[in-house]
Structure 1
Amino acid sequence: MRSVPPRALGSAIVIVAAASIAVFAAQRGARSSPNEGASAAPVTSARRMGALPGVASVLASTPNDTPQAASPPPPPPAPARCMPEPAIEVRVVDPPPVTELFRLAKEKPEALGSASVGSPTRGSLFGGVELKDSEGILRAGGYGWGTELVIRSIERAVREVRRCFADSPRLYVGDIARERGGWLKPHRSHQSGLDADIGYYYKSQATWYQRATAENLDAARTWALVRALIEGGNVEMIFIDVSVQRLLQAYVATLPEGEQPPEEVFPSPTKRDTIIRHAWGHATHFHVRFRDPAAVALGQRLANILPRLRGARRAPR
């Protein structure tokens, strides 16, 4: 074993002694300082280490290893409202004089267009258009005739939903009216081509007359459908069970302020004469009462002609 030179050993002893004296002085100063109270904290090991050459600078330069909490990411921007479908352009014909009106109704009815005669609960339909199965519509009712405006309004709303929501399933549409209108069992209305039973959109495979619930209703697509019908400008009333109304209102409440519907859409405790109204039996589908002033005006002109015309067309026994 190599021996330590006496000179080096003496230097080490001097350094250790100096460090011990510095620590002792620091402890004594902490106890006797007039600026500290009786409960002054004892000198910590870090202060003792700081008395040694280079230790204080090392402690001061030690980085803070405490992990900083990450700030939450900003919320995603609200999706932009899908552009609505173009408005419907339906041919409007000025009714001719009675004699010419009778001739056209008998020989060339397509020249007059659709006519809604009487009322939805006691009426008939002239020149109706039939709703057909399509890429977005699946007929569920046996009678799908209505005024041209009614049929085009349903088709327009379904097109908007399918354009705004990819992979949308086909929508069930029930009864509208008979080809010539009149009483349609089991409905009280559906007589003049202005009423339509329309299904809801569902999250999974749907069937006609399926009850809508919080678990299966596709509120986003259903609201887009209802909104498209209303914004088409041809809807008078929509009958929806109050349980389904609540589901739609809960969804609408999550939309940006600019997409909130006006007050006249949903009923409230102080407002009942709204577009959407409660009707028992409409948790499986909703009922739309359309407004078609041109067809109603033509129906008023034809009201006295059609009984004679249809009597003349009736085959003799």
Structure 2
Amino acid sequence: MVARAALRIGLTLAAALAAAPVHAQLAKELFGAATRPSAQAAEPIGSYAKGCAAGNVALAETGDAWQAMRLSRNRNWGHPQLVDLVEDLGRHMDAFGWEGVYVGDLSQPRGGPMTSGHRSHQIGLDADVWLYPVNDVTLSRREREEISAVSMRRAEGAYVNRNWTRGQQELVKRAAEDPRTARIFIFPGAKVQMCEDATGDRAWLRKVRPWYGHHYHMHVRISCPRGAAACVDQAPPPPGDGCAEARQWQQNILNPPPPDPNAKPSPPRRELRMADLPQQCASVLSAPSR
């Protein structure tokens, strides 16, 4: 039965590839149709928001200290180093006093643009980890579809609310201290609060960057693994702990600057087509499944 389902999916993807020149097709439709990773060595290809991923591996749906959420999305795939980091986070939080972590989207089986949601998460190096204080890692598949994440913000993200505890800071800090981590995105109020509360070595704060949303989860991004020649790293964060920048974000929320009367409206974002992605991504799509 599984083999038949895989065959149907393969035929669907093959039909899509044959329907029009590959370079002209919407990349999200092709990568969204792939339900299994390619049988290739693990390799991130391109940049975080314009690329794909060969040889992704699955974060186990349930582990000793984590659970993958929203399983219907089939986005619990990533580079082995990302999966290992997420598992390490879960075990650390289990030792800290939580039962582990709930994990949202990583990447699709072959990476690439997603059919909905993220613009990044395309090369298997991004993971959303819930800020939820986990006390149960035995949720059913149905419960993982229905449970709601918990917001940590108030005042539109300028401050944390009462749900924010030392546990959330420990989670963010642990992820930031991992040498594989390049950046962590979280709402501005959380970064400001951590700037106020951090003691001792504050170097980890540099990786924690304020960004829109991200009050239900933190977005962990790891660097291109060594030897991944086709992977494009993001420029490193500016020097320093980034706290002044976060406080400026906070002030801009509380006292929004007047709009620039000369600002031109941003053009609508164009959907990525296969021609926009690195050439290797066509090979990732056509490779046999693992």
Show the 5 A alignment for 1:92-171: 113-132=41-60, 133-141=62-70, 142=73, 143-163=75-95, 165-166=96-97, 168-171=98-101
Q: SS at 2:282's partner residue?
A: helix
Q: 2:171 — aligned with what?
A: 225
CA distance in 2, matches of 1:233, 1:308: 31
CA separation of 1:311/1:298 partners in 2, compared to 1, >3 Å: closer, same or farther?
A: same
CA separation of 1:312/1:221 partners in 2, compared to 1, >3 Å: closer, same or farther?
A: closer
Letter in 2 for 1:251: D
CA distance in 2, matches of 1:202, 1:278: 21
Letter in 1 for 2:164: L
- What TM-score, normalized to structure 2? 0.56
Q: CA deviation at 1:305?
A: 5.1
Q: CA deviation at 1:297?
A: 2.1
Pick from 131, 149, 152: which aligns with 1:209?
A: 149
Give the gaps of 5 or more residues in structure 1.
1-108, 267-273
Task: Look at both structures and tell me which one has the larger radius of gyration over its CA atoms.
Answer: 1
Q: CA deviation at 1:117?
A: 0.8
CA separation of 1:149/1:137 partners in 2, compared to 1, >3 Å: closer, same or farther?
A: same
Q: SS at 2:52's partner residue?
A: strand
Show the 5 A alignment for 1:28-39: none
CA distance in 2, matches of 1:202, 1:309: 37
Q: 1:6 — aligned with what?
A: none
CA separation of 1:191/1:295 partners in 2, compared to 1, >3 Å: closer, same or farther?
A: farther
Overall identity of the aligned pairs, in %:
25
Q: SS at 1:161's partner residue?
A: helix
RMSD: 2.9
CA distance in 1, matches of 2:51, 2:93: 32
Q: 1:37 — aligned with what?
A: none
Q: SS at 2:119's partner residue?
A: coil
Contact 1:146/1:177 (8 A) holds in 2: yes
CA separation of 1:200/1:308 partners in 2, compared to 1, >3 Å: closer, same or farther?
A: closer
Contact 1:129/1:148 (8 A) holds in 2: yes
- What TM-score, normalized to structure 1? 0.52
Q: Return the structure number with greater relative CO, CA threshold 8 A, min gap 6.
A: 2
Q: 1:193 — aligned with what?
A: 124
After superposition, what is the alpha-carbon deviation per residue over 1:18-55, rounded to whole angstroms, capped at 9, x for unaligned?
Answer: xxxxxxxxxxxxxxxxxxxxxxxxxxxxxxxxxxxxxx
Show the 5 A alignment for 1:170-181: 170-181=100-111
CA separation of 1:279/1:295 partners in 2, compared to 1, >3 Å: closer, same or farther?
A: farther
Q: Would you identify which runs of 4 or more consecutive aligned residues in structure 1 move more than 3 Å?
A: 201-205, 303-306, 308-314
Q: CA deviation at 1:299?
A: 5.7
Q: CA deviation at 1:245?
A: 1.8
Q: 1:99 — aligned with what?
A: none
Q: CA deviation at 1:230?
A: 2.2
Contact 1:130/1:145 (8 A) holds in 2: yes
Contact 2:45/2:52 (8 A) holds in 1: yes
Q: CA deviation at 1:170?
A: 3.6
CA distance in 1, matches of 2:149, 2:172: 17
CA distance in 1, matches of 2:187, 2:284: 41
Q: 2:15 — aligned with what?
A: none
CA distance in 2, matches of 1:151, 1:169: 18
CA separation of 1:308/1:136 partners in 2, compared to 1, >3 Å: closer, same or farther?
A: closer
Contact 1:204/1:216 (8 A) holds in 2: no
CA distance in 2, matches of 1:309, 1:223: 38
CA distance in 2, matches of 1:260, 1:310: 44
Q: CA deviation at 1:131?
A: 1.0
Q: CA deviation at 1:162?
A: 1.7
Q: CA deviation at 1:197?
A: 0.9
CA separation of 1:171/1:310 partners in 2, compared to 1, >3 Å: closer, same or farther?
A: closer
CA separation of 1:223/1:307 partners in 2, compared to 1, >3 Å: closer, same or farther?
A: same
After superposition, what is the alpha-carbon deviation per residue over 1:240-268, rounded to whole angstroms, capped at 9, x for unaligned?
Answer: 1011223333332xx4xxx3322xx43xx
CA separation of 1:202/1:305 partners in 2, compared to 1, >3 Å: closer, same or farther?
A: closer
Give the gaps of 5 or more residues in structure 2.
1-37, 137-146, 153-159, 233-277
CA distance in 2, matches of 1:172, 1:288: 13
Letter in 1 for 2:211: A
CA separation of 1:135/1:261 partners in 2, compared to 1, >3 Å: closer, same or farther?
A: same
CA separation of 1:156/1:308 partners in 2, compared to 1, >3 Å: closer, same or farther?
A: closer
Q: Give aligned pairs, total.
A: 186
CA distance in 2, matches of 1:179, 1:124: 9
